[in-house]
Amino acid sequence: MVPNKKMEALLNKQMNAEFYNSHLYQAMAGWFEGQNLPGFASWMEIQAGEERGHAMKFYNHLKERRGAILVGAVPAAPVKYKGALDAIQAAFDHEVHVSQEINKMMETALAEKDFAAVEMLRWFVTEQVEEEANVDAILQQLKMVGESKGSLMYIDRHVGKRKAA
């Protein structure tokens, strides 16, 4: 069933937001490369790939339901941070914002009785819990050990172990 105009607009909006999320993490990866922290950079690059996957979930949902697919311009993402903690804090705050957007969308999908969208969004609700937890784990470790060169090198090695899903 084709999504109604309201849902179609929201699905496109979140698809484009996920493309931005991919862009955001790729830009963070670039920043971490410049800091000589390849582990953080690699983590961010894997995350950028996951975010593209999220965008494609919305894309394919629209495709399967014969909704209009409107891939728009991706806004520029920040390319500078004060430090690793600043970057990771920004990532965490952004994920919380994304969770709020997904929740709002779920509310609308329920109100519009778009049960196909509700089922798809259920995956995102669960995913966002994981997304927040993953970034929060790094954030808490950084807060614990601080941002001395030794601490950063230690955490860099740890976060660099992340494998692409």
Binding site for Fe ion (CB under 5 A): 18, 21, 51, 54, 131
Q: Which is nearer to Fe ion, 21 or 26 (CB)?
A: 21
DSSP state at residue 65: T
As measured in angstroms, the least distance from the Cβ of 61 to Fe ion is 14
As measured in angstroms, the least distance from the Cβ of 49 to Fe ion is 11
As measured in angstroms, the least distance from the Cβ of 7 to Fe ion is 19
The residues near 140 (Cβ < 8 Å, ≥ 6 apart) are none
Of residues 24, 21, 17, 26, the one with CA closest to residue 45: 26
Q: Which is nearer to Fe ion, 8 or 131 (CB)?
A: 131
Q: Which is nearer to Fe ion, 8 or 51 (CB)?
A: 51
Between the alpha carbon of residue 31 and those of residues 16, 26, 42, 80, the distances in Å are 23, 9, 11, 7
As measured in angstroms, the least distance from the Cβ of 57 to Fe ion is 9
3-state helix, strand and coil shares in percent for the chain, rounded to the nearest 5: 75, 0, 25
Answer whether 30's CB lies under 8 Å from 79's CB: yes
Which residue is closest to Fe ion by CB? 54
Q: Which is nearer to Fe ion, 56 or 147 (CB)?
A: 56
As measured in angstroms, the least distance from the Cβ of 144 to Fe ion is 23
Q: Which is nearer to Fe ion, 12 or 152 (CB)?
A: 12
What distance in Å separates the CA atoms of residue 15 and residue 28, rounded to the nearest whole number?
A: 20
